[in-house]
Amino acid sequence: MGGKQVDPYFPNNGDPRYRVHRYELTLDYRPGPNRLAGSARLNALAGPEALREFALDLAEFRIGRVLVDGKAAHYAHRGGKLRIRPARPVAAGGAFTVEVHYSGNPKPVRSQWGGLGWEELTDGALVASQPVGAPSWFPCNDRPADKASYLISVTTPSPYAVVTGGRLLTRTTKASSTTWVYEQAAPTSSYLVGIAIGSFERVLLVDAEPGAVPQAGYVPLGQVSRFAADFGRQPQMMRFFTELFGPYPFDEYVVVVADEELDVPVEAQGMACFGTNHVDGVRGCERLVAHELAHQWFGNSVTVADWRHIWLNEGFAKYAEWLWAEHTGTRSAQAHAAEAHRLLTALPQDLCLADPGRALMFDDRLYERGGLTVHALRAALGEDAFHRMLRDWASGRRHGVVTTADFMAHVQRYTAEPVVALFDAWLFGGALPPLPVLVAG
Amino acid identity of residue 1, one-letter, is M
Q: Each residue of 370-409: pLDDT tens digit? A: 999 999 999 999 999 999 999 999 999 999 999 999 999 9
The answer to whether the CB of 91 falls within 8 A of the CB of 66 is no
What are the phi and psi torsion angles at 236 (to 5°)? -65, -40
pLDDT confidence of residue 206:
82
* Domain-wise residue ranges, the chain: 18-294, 305-428
- 234-288 pLDDT tens trace: 999 999 999 999 999 999 999 999 999 999 999 999 999 999 999 999 898 999 9
Name the class of domain 18-294. mainly beta
Q: Is the pLDDT of residue 2 over 50?
A: no
User: pLDDT for 71-128, tens place per residue?
Assistant: 999 999 999 999 999 999 999 999 999 999 999 999 999 999 999 999 999 999 999 9
d(CA 232, CA 79): 45
Chain-centroid distance of CA 109 in Å reads 17
Inter-residue contact 303 to 147 (CB < 8 Å): yes
Average pLDDT (333-351) is 97
184: confidence class by pLDDT, cuts 50, 70, 90: very high
Evaluate whether 166 touches 184 at the Cβ level (below 8 Å).
yes
The reported pLDDT for the residue numbered 436 is 97
Instruction: Say whether domain 305-428 belongs to CATH 1.10.390.10.
Output: yes
Domains 18-294 and 305-428 share a fold: no
Backbone angles phi, psi at 103, to 5 degrees: -160, 160
pTM: 0.96
Amino acid 208: pLDDT: 62
Which H or E element spans position 308? none
Q: What percent of the chain has pLDDT over 90?
A: 95
- How many Å apart are CA 251 and CA 165, to the nearest integer? 9
DSSP state of 6: S
